[in-house]
Structure 1
Amino acid sequence: MKRSGHEEFLRATSVIDHDNPAVRKKALTLAEGLSGDVEISRACFVFVRDEIRHSWDYRANPVTLSASAVLEYTTGYCFAKSHLLAALLRANAIPAGFCYQRLKNHGDIGPVFYLHGLNAVWLEDYGWYRVDARGNRPDVHAAFTPPKECLAFVPKEPGEADLTGVFSDPLPAVVNVLSTFTDYLDVRRNLPDIEE
């Protein structure tokens, strides 16, 4: 089932490799017995949010980039987790893209500001709906509750922002960082940032 006008948000790439057999199998397993884009999207979201460990929260290696690597190693930074979620959704013929926030770093490691990656999913009844599968923790709660957004972070401080638009591919700065560094700590020290 192709969605007219959203082809670029359905395609497989080297990063969003939903043509990988393991990714495809997981996507179809998650959708089994469910009907409609909301139910399937929720199942994919909950799986990535709850079953894939956030690299920084768990101090986990390896650094992952492609959807298939995130699935294989069950770990990834927010960006990598968004790559897997997009792949699972696209494998189920649900258009999915990427959104970014610019956030202030309150830790003592890494740049003053950094990008945070999340997804937008096209739901027939709601249009583009942003979701954040980075993973919950005591100070972070994200959920799938369309049409109401329930994201992990809300930009509030000077310099923070929601970057506008839905991207069909991950930003080059994100791919570069996840391709360059092999240790989660080095990624944290070099988190990407762009001025809006």
Structure 2
Amino acid sequence: MDAFLKECTYVDFHSDSVRRKADELFPSCMDDVDKARVAFEFVRDGIPHSFDIRAERVTARASDVLRYGTGICHAKANLLAALLRSQGIPAGFCFQHITLADDDRRGYCLHGYNAVFLQGRWIRVDARGNRTGINARFSLGEPVLAFENRPQYDEYAFPGIFAVPDTVTMEMLDRAGSLLDVVFGLPDKLSVQPAVTE
């Protein structure tokens, strides 16, 4: 479980901005489930997805997502993991292979979201951000994610829970100067291995 509590370059929960936001979000009386719910709702609703607002800034690190107030799914997952790990709540990453468009005409990409260890088990949450056609919610039962897998379009979830973000995706976000770079640079394969297999 230690792997899901560590700080890394992109899950930089010791940064001043993440610590300040954690202090603001989590009163001392709050339990882990409530912390996870509050953090999820803040990242889902309070940090708009970069494509939804046509953001000019591309972010990757949790602290930069807070600083600039935007991120794509992978960056937002980094922020949610950072907020939860700052509270000693194990948080990991999950990935889906999904289409870039409504169908497979434009190819595929990796979609990133989180797994959180609560009440003795992993739950999956997707803080991508809701819009028309997307209604992800916090659930201790069946996950309510942003995207349902459509087997007819070769969409699927990668098995396992990952302790770190996808390396190639993070490197691409660091290099990207615009959202157009992200569109053309998003990988559709994973470069990391799961820390927990299922």
With normalisation by structure 2, the TM-score equals 0.90
Could you tell me which amino acid in structure 2 is paired with residue 35 of structure 1? Answer: M
* Equivalent-residue separation in structure 2 for 1:76 and 1:54 (angstroms): 5
Does the Cα contact within 8 Å between 1:102 and 1:161 map onto a contact in 2?
A: yes
The match for 1:129 is 123
Select between 37-46 and 167-176 the one with higher mean Cα deviation: 167-176
The match for 2:71 is 76
The match for 1:141 is 135
* Equivalent-residue separation in structure 1 for 2:48 and 2:177 (angstroms): 16
How far the C-alpha of 1:61 sits from its partner, in A, is: 2.1
* Equivalent-residue separation in structure 1 for 2:12 and 2:82 (angstroms): 6
CA RMSD in angstroms, aligned pairs only: 1.8
Does the Cα contact within 8 Å between 1:28 and 1:92 map onto a contact in 2?
A: no
Could you tell me which amino acid in structure 2 is paired with residue 132 of structure 1? Answer: D
With normalisation by structure 1, the TM-score equals 0.91
* Equivalent-residue separation in structure 2 for 1:111 and 1:8 (angstroms): 35
How far the C-alpha of 1:124 sits from its partner, in A, is: 2.0
- The one of 176, 189, 192 aligned to 2:171: 176
Change (3 A) 1:15 1:34: same
- The one of 137, 144, 164 aligned to 1:150: 144
How far the C-alpha of 1:159 sits from its partner, in A, is: 1.6
Q: Deviations over 1:17-52 (max 9, x none)?
A: 001011012112211155221100000000000010
Provide structure 1 residue ranges, at least 5 long, that are not aligned to the other structure.
1-5
Does the Cα contact within 8 Å between 1:132 and 1:152 map onto a contact in 2?
A: yes
* Equivalent-residue separation in structure 1 for 2:45 and 2:107 (angstroms): 28
- The one of 5, 20, 28 aligned to 1:10: 5
- The one of 34, 40, 44 aligned to 2:35: 40
* Equivalent-residue separation in structure 1 for 2:90 and 2:29 (angstroms): 17
Could you tell me which amino acid in structure 2 is paired with residue 182 of structure 1? Answer: G
Query: Matched residues, percent identical?
Result: 43
Provide structure 2 residue ranges, at least 5 long, that are not aligned to the other structure.
192-198
* Equivalent-residue separation in structure 2 for 1:31 and 1:148 (angstroms): 25
- The one of 92, 98, 101 aligned to 2:93: 98
* Equivalent-residue separation in structure 2 for 1:191 and 1:14 (angstroms): 19
Q: Deviations over 1:70-107 (max 9, x none)?
A: 00001000000000000000001100010000001226
SS in 1 for 2:138: strand
More strand by share: 1
* Equivalent-residue separation in structure 1 for 2:29 and 2:130 (angstroms): 24
Does the Cα contact within 8 Å between 1:8 and 1:168 map onto a contact in 2?
A: yes
* Equivalent-residue separation in structure 2 for 1:19 and 1:111 (angstroms): 39
Change (3 A) 1:195 1:27: closer
- The one of 62, 67, 91 aligned to 1:67: 62
* Equivalent-residue separation in structure 1 for 2:106 and 2:162 (angstroms): 24
- Superposition map of 1:20-59 within 5 A: 20-32=15-27, 34-59=29-54
Does the Cα contact within 8 Å between 1:56 and 1:188 map onto a contact in 2?
A: no
> For this pair of structures, how many residues does the alignment match?
189
